[in-house]
Structures are given as C-alpha cells and as structure tokens.
Structure 1
Amino acid sequence: MFKILLIEDDATLFKEIKDRLVDWEYEVFGVKNFQSVMESFAEVHPDLVIIDIQLPKYDGFHWCRMIREHSNVPIAFLSSRDHPTDMVMSMNLGADDFIQKPFHFDVLIAKIQAILRRVYNYSTTTSDLKMWMGATIDLERNRVSNEKGMVELTKNEIFILKLLVERKNKIVSREYLMNLLWDDHRFIGDNTLTVNVNRVRKKLAEIGLGNGIKTMVGQGYSAIEQEEK
C-alpha cells in the first residue's frame, strides 16, 4: 500500500480527497502543524507528497524546497491559481506534476497512478543498474557513481538520464521527453525541460560527467558515449 502525505489546509477538501484515495487503497496522512510540515514528512516517510500551493505560514513552494533538500520522493502540486508561472515554478523545483483545482477525481487518481507507476515500476522491465561512461546508474536508489564519487538525482532527473542512456549516441527529442515526464505538458514550456536537464548536468559534473549529455540544437538531447573498438 502506497503512503501519501496530503498537505492541504482546507479540512473539507482534505477529507474528500482522503476518502477517495482510501477507496483506491492508498494510505493517506495529513499535516498536524503547518508550521512544521517536515516533522509530518519525517514521521510518515511517504511514497508520494501532494502539496497545495496556498498554505498557512509558508506556501507549498517553500515546503517543496525543504523536502527536496532531504528526499527525492515524488511531489505533485495542487492549486486553484491558474497562472502558468506557478506550474513552471513547481516543475523547476523538482515537482513531478501539477494538478489544477477544481479537478475531477478520476483525473486526480489517474495522475497519481501515472506518477507512482513511473517512479516505482519503471525498473521492473529492465535492470536496476546501467553502465554509462564508466559510471553505474542505480535506478532503484536514484544514484550515479564512479571512481570520482556519487551523486543523488530526483525521480525526474534519474528518469531523464535513463531515457537518454537507453538511447545513447542517439537524439531524444524534447517532445518525447516532455510527453513521458509530464502527462499534460500544454503549459510546460521548453524552459522547464531545459532546467531539469541542466540540473542533471550540474550533478553529473560533480563526478566528471557533465559533458556526457549534449544539446542537439532544435532537436533534443543525446547521451554521448564512445563505442568500444
């Protein structure tokens, strides 16, 4: 049973969402004190976090930053605000999806299932370990390591790297990446994907792999590796 931490201050909406998710056999937890969300996070150790943007004391963006400092758990935002910058900011902070209020519960369930399937089940059809440029990519633990060290990636970052490495030396289009990363990317601009890829590069650079992902102008990205002779 997946554990979901629902950070929502509207008690009526919280109960409604919780009841629907429990019907789908998810275990749902709330926040006891909105000034100490991280205490609830540490206590629950959730498989997925759903955060409303507008919260007492600090907004959802603040708590997303705090969670990302400690964990790569998938995060989905809820928001009644309809400005595209909110969606872009949430993705740039490392969120996995953005759900607009009001929403149909079937859509909410579908998005939750898509995130959990992508994050926790994608490695069932392939090896949990991949080799690339002398480094080991651990898909289960979201880590990349070589003789220079080890870096941890978020779920989206490891998914991007996985897609590129599986097609190494080939161009993977931006549209293809966005379609797989975000089910509804109508308001996800090219800049959001660029930010995510650059974040992967920055982390890989810490272990000498920063130049491994090339930008193919006007086409997409490619994970470069020289074939053994």
Structure 2
Amino acid sequence: MKPSPIPSALLSSFTLLVCVYLVMPTLAVAPLSITRTDFVVFPPQGFSLRWYEELFISDAWRSAMKNSFITASLTTLLATPIGTLVALGMARLRGSLLQPVNVIVLLPIIVPSIVIAVAMYGLLARANLIGTIPGLVVAHTVLALPFVVINVAAIMRKVDHRIEQAARSLGATPLKAFRLVVLPQLMPGVAAGALFAFLISFDDIVIALFISGVGAVTLPVQMWSGIRFELSPVVAAASTVLLAISCLLMILLRWVRSR
C-alpha cells in the first residue's frame, strides 16, 4: 500500500510558506531603494535610481565598501589556509585530545559574537590595531576559521587516505603527496570554506562595531550608522547590494559543491 501524498504535500506547503514569511522582509528592501522620496516609505513612491548613484558617489559609502572588500578578501586569504591545516591536523588526532580541540576550534561559533568582540577589543587595543584593517582581519579570521575547518573536515571524511599512502610508497615526499594527491581532493571543501569566510567577514557587524573605529569603517557599520542617524533610502540601496553579493556567493558555493 502506497503512503498518501497528502501529508507530504501539506508539509512541503507549510515549509514553503515559512520560507516565504522569513524571506519577504529581506526582499522588501529592494523596492525601498528605488523610491523618489527622501525618506523610506513602503510602497515606494515613483521610481528613481538616485540612491544607488549616491551609494557609489558618496566618499563615505565608497570607502566603507572598499574597506569591506579588502577586509573580507584578506580574511579569506588568511583563514582558508589556517583552517585547512587545522582540519588536516584534527583528522590525525586520536583519543582524548580530539574532543577538546574540536570544542576550542568551534568556540567562535558557540560563543556569542558580542563576547568575542569584547575580548578582541581588549587584545587589539594593546596592539594598537583598533581602527585599522589589520585589526579587523585578525578579528574576522578568528570568526571565520571554524567555517573553513567544518567544510574541509566534511570533505576529509570522504577522502581515501590509502591514495596518499600509495603516493608515499612510490617515493613522493610528504609535501609532494599532499600537494598532488590530497589537496586536489580537498579543493571543494577549501573553496566552500573560503566563500564562507568571505561572507562571514563581509556581513559582520558586531565585531566591526568594536574594532573598526573611525579609520576602517565597513559597509555594515556604515549602514548601522545610517539607520541610527538618518533613515535614508541609500541604506536600502546598500542593503540590496549586500543581499545581491551574498546571493551570488551562495550560488557560487552551490556550484562549487556540485562540482
């Protein structure tokens, strides 16, 4: 006897409605960015792209976008190799050490961001890195590292380590066996981890509020300031651009995983 398709259809419909409910407030930002009025109003009155023009012409907004891209790119370049090496090391751990190390690596996900921000502020202040891009990169690397480790570790579980042993038995050095045999198999996880690291850094607001100061304001911090002091449609335009970048990177992540 075949199971009735009605419960499955009801569950799918309910899931779809919940997803639409969660996504709609985010998508509503896009219409707000094309209004002709000088304030945020829904539904938008008229059609104008002047707020996008303001976004890309204003020195403050352009500087914030540049800082975000530089910080996210440097964070990706730093977090990806470190996270990959940590995942490789964890894969070789055995016994009672594995669980404590796993917890330590995942702490930036477990601990609230505000706690990490306060801790990083005290550390970076002593190093005179508050209000600098290097300070942001260090803080965001700590935040993004677990996501790289998780993605690389997930791929490592599928890797047949006998291939590396075969390469070693044929005369390959440990470095050459890793570069020619292991790393190509890990590349989907490495690429996914790199994309996650970029997104985590680019979208972060909590840690950036503590670390950026006035010398390294990122796009989320600039948006926060715009919401606090002037609710201008240019904030909606920046939100739409940020949403588009995040969606494109997630599509790229899905394509990488499918490959």
The two structures have a TM-score, normalised by structure 2, of 0.25
* Rg (Cα) greater in structure: 2
Q: Which has the higher contact order (CA 8 A, sep 6+)?
A: 2
**If each structure's strand is expressed as a fraction of its own residues, which one has the higher value?**
1
Normalising by structure 1, what TM-score? 0.27
